[in-house]
């Protein structure tokens, strides 16, 4: 496995999208505090750079907002 890539995973508790390094085992969700097991979590995207991973998160969130299943923070 290439250890230089990034993954976009989904929190199993709140559904938030998280950015983590490929090969990382756990990631704590900054919104709900849930300890996400990266190896078992739903992987939504894989990227070679952090910029690509952030773009993937933005696109996914926009798609969810368009479908009405995600609200903008603070609204």
CATH of 6-66, one of 3.30.70, 3.90.1720, 3.90.820, 3.40.50: 3.90.820
Q: Is residue 64 very low, low, confident or very high in pLDDT (cuts 50, 70, 90)?
A: confident
CA 39 from chain center: how many Å?
Answer: 13
**pLDDT single digits (tens) 2-19:** 457 999 999 999 999 999
Name the one residue in this structure whose structure tokens are 């190896």.
39
Q: Which helix (H) or strand (E) holds 3?
A: none
Q: What is the pTM of this model?
A: 0.75
Q: Which helix (H) or strand (E) holds 42?
A: strand 42-47
Structural domain spans, the chain: 6-66
The first and second tokens of residue 6, run together, are 């990034």
CA–CA separation, 17 and 69 (whole Å): 13
């Amino acid at each position: 496995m290439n250890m230089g890539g990034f993954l976009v995973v989904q929190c199993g508790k709140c559904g938030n999208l998280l950015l983590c390094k490929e090969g990382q085992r756990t990631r704590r969700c900054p919104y709900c505090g849930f300890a996400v097991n990266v190896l078992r979590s739903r992987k939504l995207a894989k990227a070679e750079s952090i910029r690509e991973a952030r773009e993937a998160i933005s696109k996914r969130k926009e798609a969810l907002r368009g479908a009405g299943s995600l609200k903008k923070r603070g609204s």
